[in-house]
Structure 1
Amino acid sequence: MTNLYRSRAMQDAEMSNSSFLPSLPSELLFHILSYLDIPDLLSISRTMHYLRTISLDPLLHTYRLQRASVILSRAIPSRPPLTELMARRVYITRTTLTALNLGRSLTMIRLKRQLERRPTVERLIELGVLPPECYLNQSNGISTTLGLYRRRKVVQKEKVRNFLAEWIGELSKRITRRMIDSSRSTRDASSL
């Protein structure tokens, strides 16, 4: 029974190997490749010399173009009109594109002005918004970036979390010991 499974597995492995592709008729491969797009044909052409010669065949590309024109000739009548595409914002006119670009430019100008009006780091430290560690100390050349400050805060939170986990673990052990001791004392008292 196991030999049967092994032989099937070996056959499957042999079939999955790329050596069976050249054994297929070239007309069949040509027909299969005619359904692929250009990026897929490029990927296939990089796998084997045999497939490269078929994928570079000018007849294959002529056949693909003919098929595409037939598909497009059938699909064009069912395409929605331009006004409907504009209403659904699928098709963007030059005017709409210009308006979008103008809106982005105005937003960038407004943001730039707001950033210029923001308070300095020193002022934010005075107000208590930023910690003093974020200030660049010019006198001794020591600076702590905001990223390092955030990392320090994360480490502090982890320490607090670990401390609380240990404390809760010890507390639960004490409670279970008390419960065990109280149950023993009640058993001892009832046995007397």
Structure 2
Amino acid sequence: MSSPCPLDHFPQEVILHILSYLDLPDLASLSQVSSYLAELAADPLLHKNRLRIIAPSRIQHSLFGQGPEGIALRPTVVDLVHRGVFKGLGIERRWRDGVYLYTQRVSSIFLFLINTFLTLRLVHHSV
């Protein structure tokens, strides 16, 4: 029989606050230590709090992360335009000028689609 966990004497709120800073593998290991900690590690509010505390810092790092050679891990807007992910009229120029790629009035992608539609319509009427 296992000895009682010394953390049993602390209030649940304190233990949950400490657990909110642990990663999932650490929580899985901790849940094998005692049934009391397993119950706390499975608490839905703990995981909601973990997402609020841990996830933003990880996302922030991965968005602007660089590889060992100093090359960005994510493609730039210009790379996405050249690959055809972003399509539109003057989207690269607008990006260089610091204009938003999408505004409430006119989207570059919307302009591209209108241009394509009008070109097809002109070709259809010419034939």
TM-score by length of structure 2 reads: 0.45
More helix by share: 1
Q: Which has the higher contact order (CA 8 A, sep 6+)?
A: 2
Q: What is the TM-score when the length of structure 1 is the normalising length? A: 0.31
